[in-house]
Amino acid sequence: MTKDDDLLVIEDLRVSFPGKGWRAAPNEVLKGVSLNVRRGETLGLVGGSGSGKTTIGRAVLGLVPVGSGGITFAGERIERATGRRRRLLSRDIQVVFQDPYTSLNPSLTIGDTLSEPLRAQGQGRAGARRRVGDLLERVGLPADAASRLPREFSGGQRQRVAIARALAIGPKLIVCDEPVSALDLTTRKTVLDLFLEIQERTGVSYLFVSHDLAVIRYISHRVAVIHHGEIVETGEAAEVTTRPRHPYTRNLLLSAPVADVAGQRARREAFERAYAGPNTSAER
């Protein structure tokens, strides 16, 4: 694929946060990250806690200050976009957060929650109501859900509402920040299948952030692995998640659970050997 296929391009991105304590040096969270998301594809971004994966998504959304480097969306540099421009960009860039219990306003009905972005874009009340009904149908929720409050739904249903809200104004890119980690395994697969179905139908791109390599393997076309603020491996999802080249990615694969007692025992032993090996500390 050519550069013309790129929807999002991140180049040499660096982000630092203030250090803890007086005179403490800044903490560099992203150390020259470069990656791209193509039109209509899912790039899975996987790494452990504190790796910087969520910070990348927040930088794309304009929620953290960028120290240096570039973020280009649909041919436009956006890393230093003004507040006004960010509001306009929200039509094309949306987000689904991790926790379905806190990402929705508990005092608003589902209909009001879904109508908000539509009304903000100038759509009339009747048009917004019709669009809300279409969105609820698209994510598999009943029409009467519009008149109910978030507390009346399960975690999986609330995440469907969050997905519907992200889809409301037809974005080109959705940043998915650990969107299934708070869900049970059965619900997790249902929501992942919904993401896949929506992408097939609309052509939306996903930057899908997760610590779970199994989730990343299921949802992604390509995978980028981040460790201590640096991308250590990228490639096609099937290749990276089954035949990883970098030691850190191999350890992620070994630490992932498998649904088999003997297999899990063998994987745990392999994981322990990997961390006990003579070169492990140097590799990490």
- Residue 280: per-residue pLDDT: 36
- Could you tell me if 146 and 132 are in contact, meaning their C-beta atoms sit under 8 angstroms apart? yes
The position carrying tokens 């059965």 is: 186
pLDDT level of residue 257 (50, 70, 90 thresholds): low
| Residues 6-60: tens digit of each pLDDT | 999 999 999 999 988 877 888 999 999 999 999 999 999 999 999 999 999 999 9
- Residue 259: per-residue pLDDT: 53
pLDDT level of residue 3 (50, 70, 90 thresholds): low
| Residues 180-223: tens digit of each pLDDT | 988 888 888 999 999 999 999 999 999 999 999 989 999 999 99
- Residue 251: per-residue pLDDT: 86
Pinpoint the alpha helices (H) of the chain: 53-60, 83-89, 110-120, 125-138, 155-167, 185-202, 213-219, 237-242, 247-255, 261-276, 280-283
Give the tokens for residue 230: 């640096």
| Residues 113-158: tens digit of each pLDDT | 999 888 888 888 888 889 999 999 999 999 899 999 999 999 999 9
Q: Distance (Å, rounded) from C-alpha 174 to C-alpha 159?
A: 14
| Residues 59-75: tens digit of each pLDDT | 999 999 999 999 999 99
- Residue 281: per-residue pLDDT: 33
Q: What is the DSSP letter of 210?
A: E
Domain boundaries, the chain: 1-92+171-243, 106-169, 246-284
Domain 1-92+171-243 = CATH 3.40.50.300: yes
pLDDT at residue 100 is higher than 90: no
Q: Distance (Å, rounded) from C-alpha 104 to C-alpha 106?
A: 6
Q: Distance (Å, rounded) from C-alpha 194 to C-alpha 140?
A: 9
pLDDT level of residue 282 (50, 70, 90 thresholds): very low
